[in-house]
């Protein structure tokens, strides 16, 4: 992706942007506050437009449901814009929502989260679908994010990925055949659809109605789907 050099909102001096693969944290700091979401992952700049109103409404519904449960347990939930510095990475990512388990306060600093959240959520859109699934999802697993949800309005699904729990073996009954291609370290994957409740692996008792969130993301509730089809392969 090519970014045209221009005078930015953060730095009034003209600046020649680096080539893809050469972006740094300092380059990221120079990017403008213009409504776009900019993320630099391993030297590559990714851009996505400001979320739509429907996207924001759905994100709000998801936040309210997760926040109510997690804060009751003593944890914390934050939503975009939130900057997360993952372990081993030199530049931050900006997920749609994160949740921290009780006792994780030490990773919360003034300029963002410094460490791997316990739960991370990305709402997919046409402009971010490939980026979220093929770039960010494996990154989250490698960084030690214990659980990631991908919310897909077009498919009307919430996909839940989780790292193996302590003491578990390699073989998992819920493993999906494409999982190793998407996120090599995630050992659990389940896809929840219409009429179902997406259940967290990390936060006991946390369950979110798919229709309650995605009905607001899409603006309409979908027709009923075959109940036997709720264990989908990720394609």
Which H or E run includes 40? strand 37-41
The pLDDT score that the predictor gives to residue 217 is 55
pLDDT tens digit at each of 235 positions of the chain: 344 434 344 455 566 888 888 888 888 888 888 878 888 888 888 888 777 777 777 788 889 999 999 999 999 999 888 899 999 898 899 999 999 999 999 999 998 999 999 999 999 888 888 888 889 999 999 999 999 999 998 889 999 999 987 655 443 333 333 344 444 588 778 999 999 999 999 999 999 999 988 875 555 444 443 333 333 333 3
The pLDDT score that the predictor gives to residue 216 is 57
In the numeric block, which tokens belong to residue 104?
A: 């994780």
The answer to whether the CB of 77 falls within 8 A of the CB of 98 is yes
How many separate helices (H) and strands (E) can be counted in the chain? 6, 13
The residue behind tokens 């009923």 is: 224
The pLDDT score that the predictor gives to residue 80 is 84
């Amino acid at each position: 992706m090519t970014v045209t050099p221009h005078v930015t909102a953060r730095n009034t001096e003209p600046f020649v942007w680096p080539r893809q693969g050469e972006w740094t944290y300092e380059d990221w700091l120079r990017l403008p506050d213009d409504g776009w979401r900019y993320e630099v992952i391993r030297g590559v700049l990714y851009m996505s437009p400001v979320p739509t109103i429907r996207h924001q409404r759905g994100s709000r519904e998801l936040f309210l449901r997760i926040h109510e449960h997690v804060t009751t347990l003593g944890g914390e939930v934050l939503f975009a814009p939130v900057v997360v510095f993952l372990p081993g990475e030199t530049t931050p990512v900006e997920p749609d929502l994160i949740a921290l388990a009780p006792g994780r306060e030490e990773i919360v600093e003034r300029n963002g989260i410094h460490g791997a959240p316990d739960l991370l959520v990305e709402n997919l859109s046409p402009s971010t679908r490939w980026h979220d699934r093929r770039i960010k999802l494996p990154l989250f697993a490698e960084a030690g994010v214990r659980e990631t949800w991908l919310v897909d309005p077009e498919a009307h699904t919430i996909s839940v990925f989780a790292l193996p729990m302590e003491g578990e073996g390699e073989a998992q009954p819920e493993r999906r055949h494409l999982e190793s291609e998407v996120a090599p370290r995630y050992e659990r994957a389940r896809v929840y659809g219409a009429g179902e409740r997406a259940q967290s692996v990390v936060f006991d008792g946390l369950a979110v109605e798919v229709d309650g969130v995605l009905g607001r993301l899409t603006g309409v509730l979908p027709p009923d789907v075959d109940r036997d089809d709720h264990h989908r392969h990720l394609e």
